[in-house]
Structure 1
Amino acid sequence: MKVSQIQAIARKKDIKPGKMKKLELIHAIQKQEGAFDCFASAFEGVCDQQACTWREDCFSAAQM
Structure 2
Amino acid sequence: MPTIKDIQSIAKNRSIQLPKKIRKANMIHILQEKEGNSPCYSKQECTNKICLWYIDCQKEFNKNKK
What TM-score do the two structures reach when normalised by structure 1? 0.81
Where do 4+ consecutive residues of structure 1 move more than 6 Å? none
Shift of 1:60: 1.1
Q: Which residue in the other structure is 1:38 paired with?
A: 40
Between the two proteins, what is the percent identity of the paired residues? 30
Q: Which runs of 5+ in 1 are unaligned?
A: none
After superposition, the C-alpha distances for 1:22-54 in whole angstroms (9 at most, x for unaligned) are 011100000011111100012xxx313231100
The structure in which a higher percent of residues are helix is 2
For 1:19 and 1:31, locate their aligned partners in 2 and report how far apart those are by CA, in whole Å: 18
Structure 1 vs Structure 2 CA RMSD? 1.3
Aligned length: 61
